[in-house]
Amino acid sequence: MGARADRSVLLVVCGGIAAYKALELIRRLRENGIRVRTVLTEGGARFVTPLSLQALSGERVFSDLFSLTDESEMGHIALSRSSDLIVVCPATADILARMSAGLADDLATTVLLATDTPVLAAPAMNARMWQHPATQANIATLAARGVAFVGPETGLMACNEHGPGRLAEPDSILAAILARLDGAQPLAGRRALVTAGPTHEPIDPVRYLANRSSGTQGYAIARALAAAGADVTLVSGPTTLPDPQGVHIVRVETARAMLAACMQALPCDIAVCTAAVADWHVDEAPQKIKKTAGQPPPALRLVPNPDILATLSQPSPARPRLVVGFAAETEHVVEHATAKRLRKGCDWIVANDVSPESGIMGGAENEIDLIDAAGCTHWPRLDKTQVAQRLVARITAFFNAPHVDGHTP
């Protein structure tokens, strides 16, 4: 989609240690031809100077609600409506609370209350502050009123604590801004297939073999692909998760049914196989297996299942242009996953440690290594939604790259 040349952002810089990243954001926005005007709060001015903002944005900085000069040149009401998007970065716990309460006791809150322009907030705060029910309630209120959010990410923070609350990287904030300014759906017109969840392999009519996969990561990837505009089919094993919106979902039980549903979903451009597919099914008994006194317990005869990822990766005219596998490992994660990528013939493999102490399988967070033909990149421990968004950003970059060759651009 062609970008308009006259796009503008009003950036509200609040008082947090992450305020310095707003400077990088201004630079990136201007590189993208976006006009940036800034409102600096009193707290923000303790972390960055008006002069830095002015130098980088090339515009005067608004900081005083009661400045008569500002009011004569451009009042706060006009300022609040003068851009295509208002971006609050960093959005502290304090400004989110004040926005939620509808306060208007400084220029930033007055602008935010007076505006009818879309607002995007990039929260940054200590993990406990982020997790506090008060902050979560404010976020829910603001989201219900239409405020969009980017981040926070999970990681080590300036206060030396680990957890959710880190400001999203300037790249992610930029992508979120561009998506809103341009209505960008970078994967519009692309078809994607995602497998997710465990499979259930019947032993007899009442029993089955299963595993601990919850489907969370696969569902998050399906949602992120759909948000980027892709036409998504999610082939899911049994999970307790609700159907993601805007995604065509096919629910199956066994590996064989999952393969059949995947073949039905072809052709597609992207396949992401997150499902924890059982490697074997059981030679199924037609009736419930009974205990017989004095007899040894019955032996289960295991029969290999088809490998869905390897099947989708096989060279053929119907092969998706990008096939991404997951590698669930409990030791030597990168070595095993690297070998698995080659063995299965997929383009990228997302390796994760599923040993019980990692808490990843069935948990809310994931820590992965992304392996492609060029090598391996380690990502910090992130919420599974963030892993999905980052992966989709990589997929978008792959399809936008001039040379599509299976390498991570």
107 or 277: CB nearest ligand CTP: 277
Angle at 236 between CA 234 and CA 238, to 5 degrees: 160
**Is the Cβ–Cβ distance between 180 and 85 less than 8 Å?**
yes
We find the least distance from the C-beta atom of residue 305 to ligand CTP, in angstroms, to be: 5
We find the least distance from the C-beta atom of residue 310 to ligand CTP, in angstroms, to be: 7
**Interface contacts to ligand CTP, rule CB under 6 A:** 195, 255, 273, 275-277, 279, 305, 307-309, 325-328, 340
Residue ranges for the known binding site for CTP are 279, 288, 306-309, 326, 340, 344
Q: How far is CA 357 from each of CA 164, 238, 361, 362, rounded to the nearest angstrom?
A: 20, 24, 10, 12
We find the least distance from the C-beta atom of residue 349 to ligand CTP, in angstroms, to be: 7
142 or 273: CB nearest ligand CTP: 273
Determine whether 159 is an active site residue. yes
We find the least distance from the C-beta atom of residue 149 to ligand CTP, in angstroms, to be: 30
Cis peptide before 297 (omega within 30 of 0): no
37 or 281: CB nearest ligand CTP: 281
Instruction: Give CA–CA dist 172/394, Å, rounded.
Output: 11
Encoding tokens for residue 332? 């030597």
85 or 196: CB nearest ligand CTP: 196
Report the 10 Å Cβ neighbour count for 401.
Answer: 12
Nearest residue to the partner ligand CTP, using Cβ: 308
Among candidate residues 408, 401, 403, 398, the one with its CA nearest the CA of residue 373: 408
| Terminal CA-CA length for the chain | 21
User: In sequence order, what are the residues at sequence separation of 6 or more whose Cβ sits closer than 8 angstroms to the Cβ of residue 38?
Assistant: 10, 11, 12, 13, 22, 26, 53, 54, 57, 59, 61, 62
Residue ranges for the known binding site are 279, 288, 306-309, 326, 340, 344
Please give the backbone phi and psi of residue 202, each rounded to the nearest 5 degrees, phi first.
-65, 140
User: In sequence order, what are the residues at sequence separation of 6 or more whose Cβ sits closer than 8 angstroms to the Cβ of residue 299?
Assistant: none
We find the least distance from the C-beta atom of residue 384 to ligand CTP, in angstroms, to be: 15
We find the least distance from the C-beta atom of residue 240 to ligand CTP, in angstroms, to be: 19
Cis peptide before 315 (omega within 30 of 0): no
Cis peptide before 380 (omega within 30 of 0): no
15 or 325: CB nearest ligand CTP: 325
Instruction: Give CA–CA dist 273/277, Å, rounded.
Output: 9
Q: Which residue among 14, 89, 159, 262 is the active-site one?
A: 159
- Concatenated DSSP letters of 227-295: HTT-EEEEEE-S-SPPPPTT-EEEE-SSHHHHHHHHHHH-S-SEEEE--B--SEEE---SSPPPP-TTS
The set of catalytic residues is: 159
